[in-house]
Amino acid sequence: MALPRPGRPAGVLSSVTLQLLLHVTAAYFVFYFLFTLGLIIKKSLVLSYPADALVCDIFLLFLLAALEFLHFYSGVKGNLTESETYVFGNLFLTGATIMLTVYFLVWQSYVMRADVIISSVSLGLYGLDGVLAFSTLTRFARVHS
Say what the pLDDT of residue 7 is: 56
3-state percent helix, strand, coil for the chain, nearest multiple of 5: 80, 0, 20
35-65 pLDDT tens trace: 999 999 999 999 998 999 999 999 999 999 9
Mean pLDDT, residues 86-108 taken together? 98
Nearest to 41 by CA among 93, 107, 112: 112
75 part of a folded domain: yes
Q: Is the pLDDT reported for residue 138 higher than 50?
A: yes
134 part of a folded domain: yes
Question: Strand runs (DSSP E) across 67-112, as ranges?
Answer: none
Say what the pLDDT of residue 9 is: 53
54 part of a folded domain: yes
Say what the pLDDT of residue 12 is: 84
1 part of a folded domain: no
Q: What angle do CA 88, 92, 95 make, to 5 degrees?
A: 140
Say what the pLDDT of residue 4 is: 54
Q: What is the CB-side half-sphere exposure of residue 140 using CA atoms within 13 A? A: 19
Range of the structural domain that residue 53 is part of: 16-144
78 part of a folded domain: yes
Nearest to 93 by CA among 129, 124, 138, 136: 129
8 part of a folded domain: no
3 part of a folded domain: no
Say what the pLDDT of residue 1 is: 45
Number of independent structural domains in the chain: 1
5 part of a folded domain: no
For the chain, give the mean pLDDT. Answer: 93
